[in-house]
Amino acid sequence: MKLRVELDWRTTLATALLLPTLLSLGFWQLDRAEEKAVLIERLEARRTLPAITPQSAIRLPQDELADRQVVMDAHFSPSRYVLLDNRLRGGKFGYEVVAFAEVDQLAVALNLGWIQGDPARQALPDITLPEGVHTVSGRIYQPSGDAFMLGDNPLPAQLPGVVQQLTLSTWRDELRVRLDQSIFPLEIRADEFEVVAFDATWAIVNQTPAKHQGYAVQWFTMAVALGLAFIFRSTNLWHWLRNRIGRP
């Protein structure tokens, strides 16, 4: 028996379109796994460095700021905060509370963590910020990319207010005038066990490298299955193999 190839244009077209897509998704997941591994490694390395103040952090290069531990004497004002909208924890709707704390004439966006909200959005949570000056430890948070937003994300006309994301680079000039203080350029997330914090349990990454690798295996498996299906659909390979090994 001779090996024959009979291509069907519909099968060939579908395979030509789907196979590169499945392979691209697999390699994209591997790239994501590598990125997450680098983030975890960076965090672990910078946890061993001594804590610095926001004033010291300003003098460091930008690429050395992410995940640095920070300690500060923060003065809170009752209305100087924003709520980051639509934050989910354990399947529950809520907000993250970001206070613009005063630290030696510097306004620092200090994320105090998550608080549960009204799923019906009929009312905002009643937030009571700590009074006076508190020594707070935290970690500088530097996002790896721009977050997705629905429309514009202006600074509220009055504080407190609700926003989609914390976009300090966009708000900096307006905040400087509003608060009459210089603005620390990055968000600082309070440590989990700080007395002034709400629910300040922060995930290092939203998905582990192993999770991305698992997704990559799934995409590659689908690509292999598609390739084999195309081969057996377009050739008599199965019958040819059966004939070669002597099966009837």
Contact of 163 with 84, CB cutoff 8 Å: yes
- 225 pLDDT higher than 90: yes
At 189 the pLDDT is 93
Model confidence over 70-83: pLDDT tens digits?
999 999 988 899 99
Task: State in Å, rounded, how far the first CA of the chain is from the last one.
Answer: 12
- pTM here is 0.72
pLDDT of 43 above 80: no
**Cα–Cα distance measured from residue 30 to residue 14, given in angstroms and rounded to the nearest whole number:** 25
User: What pLDDT band is residue 150 in, cutting at 50, 70 and 90?
Assistant: low
pLDDT at residue 18, as a whole number? 92
Q: Calculate the average pLDDT of the chain.
A: 85
Neighbour tally for 89: CB within 10 Å: 14
Positive/negative CA dihedral, 203, 185, 134, 67:
positive
The whole-number pLDDT of residue 89 equals 87
Letter string b/e over residues 122-138, b meaning 16 or more CB atoms within 10 A of that residue's CB: eeeeebebbeeebebbb
pLDDT for residue 35 is more than 90:
no
Task: Report percent pLDDT > 90 for the chain.
Answer: 31
The tens digit of pLDDT for each residue in 108-118 reads: 999 999 999 88
Considering only CA atoms, which of 20, 15, 28, 18 is closest in space to residue 215?
Answer: 28
